Amino acid sequence: MRNNTYPSIRQDRSGLSVLSESFPTKNLGSEKEVMEAETSRLLNRWSLSGTTALVTGGSKGIGHAIVEELARFGSAVHTCSRHEAELQECVQKWRGCGLQVTGSVCDVSSPAEREKLMKEVDSIFGGKLNILVNNAAFGYRKPALEVTLEEYELTVRTNLDAGFHLSQLAYPLLKASGSGSIVFISSTASLLGIDTLSVYGATKGAINQLTRSLACEWAKDNIRANCVVPGLIKTPLSQWVSISHTVAPTLVGKEEFKAVCARSIPIGRVGEPEEVAALVTFLCLPTSSYINGQVINADGGVSINGNAR
């Protein structure tokens, strides 16, 4: 219900929550005015209104949920992926809901395409970027001895080189915004040894450390860097991942797999993309202004579970 005295959240045409713009201040006692100002300040700390964001890999899975959540919090978001038709379908759907989202095709494993992407972002957002989410990544699930040089190089180019190079390219835009936030998407494979995920896990471990270094180097420019570590999340990618190498990926969703999850993940289930997007969004909000250089898990507790599998 609309509150006429205090700032309120109202629903817009698409059913999205937005901050009410009318904050009546006349004829109010000074104590009430102070309260209103404080409430308004608090709500602004939990809003991304007026900010700009680039999220890589937004057409599916976790990236898709991140685009949606950032945009619902008021950010203008640009995203990319390799397949135009699927990407444009997403963008049209979001725009139809009143969200400010644009998209362009980019293979982040290519240095030239990364440069082209950042030029587009520069032009769309007028040289200012508040948020960069390095999300797009993939991996081969193979025993280390079977990984080819080509597979190794493509995994490193996509998961590590892209995040580093895009952060370099975004740096002037993040600095120009006056308040920049980089979020890397890592994996529990960066923390735990997992058979058949050696190269993927190594790229994610490097991402964790890159986060800490950039956080120290760029804080003076008002750019924070943090890293979110998802556990097993229900996405197209996780079709090839399973919580235990003893369980075939084809069992994801089946009873045997559920039993393994119940034993391994204290919360007892696979996560949803929105449960990762919520943490990413929190790290981009003004309210997290003192959180910098952190590697934070959204994994249902799997990485701290000392009980036998």
Ligand X SMILES: NC(=O)c1ccc[n+]([C@@H]2O[C@H](COP(=O)([O-])OP(=O)(O)OC[C@H]3O[C@@H](n4cnc5c(N)ncnc54)[C@H](OP(=O)(O)O)[C@@H]3O)[C@@H](O)[C@H]2O)c1
Least CB distance to ligand X at residue 287 (A): 24
Q: Is residue 233 within the footprint of ligand X (CB under 6 A)?
A: yes
Interface with ligand X (CB under 6 A), residue total: 32
Catalytic residue among 6, 171, 200, 290: 200
Interatomic CA distance for residues 69 and 77, integer angstroms: 10
The structure tokens listed for 278 are 């919520």
Interatomic CA distance for residues 242 and 56, integer angstroms: 24
Q: Where are the beta strands (DSSP E) in the chain?
A: 9-11, 17-19, 52-56, 76-81, 101-105, 131-134, 180-185, 223-230, 295-298
231 to 98, 182, 197, 252: CA distances (angstroms):
31, 20, 14, 14
Q: Is residue 80 within the footprint of ligand X (CB under 6 A)?
A: yes
Q: Is residue 59 within the footprint of ligand X (CB under 6 A)?
A: yes
CB atoms within 10 A of CB 183: 27
Least CB distance to ligand X at residue 211 (A): 13
* b/e map 93-110, b = 16+ CB within 10 Å: ebeebebebbbbbbbbbb
Q: Is residue 136 within the footprint of ligand X (CB under 6 A)?
A: yes
Least CB distance to ligand X at residue 299 (A): 8
Our CB check for ligand X shows the closer of 105 and 291 to be 105
Q: Which of 138, 152, 164, 240 binds ligand X (CB under 6 A)?
A: 138
Q: Is residue 50 within the footprint of ligand X (CB under 6 A)?
A: no
Mark residues 12-41: x for contact with ligand X by CB under 6 A, - for none: ------------------------------
Catalytic site includes residue 171: no
Our CB check for ligand X shows the closer of 51 and 190 to be 190
Q: Is residue 109 within the footprint of ligand X (CB under 6 A)?
A: yes
186 to 82, 108, 194, 200, 292: CA distances (angstroms):
20, 16, 14, 10, 16
Q: Report strand pairing: 76-81 vs 101-105.
A: parallel
Q: Which of 7, 54, 63, 77 binds ligand X (CB under 6 A)?
A: 63
Return the closest-CA partner of residue 176 out of 52, 284, 288, 299. 52
CA pseudo-torsion sign 82, 88, 94, 100? positive
Q: Which of 7, 57, 103, 201 binds ligand X (CB under 6 A)?
A: 57
Stretch that binds ligand X, among 38-46, 172-180, 215-223, 237-245 (CB under 6 A): 237-245
DSSP H helix total and E strand total for the chain: 9, 9
Residue with tokens 């100002």: 37
Q: Is residue 235 within the footprint of ligand X (CB under 6 A)?
A: yes
Least CB distance to ligand X at residue 90 (A): 9
Q: Which of 50, 178, 236, 253 binds ligand X (CB under 6 A)?
A: 236
Q: Which of 48, 54, 55, 62 binds ligand X (CB under 6 A)?
A: 62
Least CB distance to ligand X at residue 72 (A): 18
Positions that interact with ligand X (CB under 6 A): 56-63, 80-83, 86, 106-109, 135-138, 158, 185, 187, 230, 232-233, 235-238, 241
Catalytic residues: 200
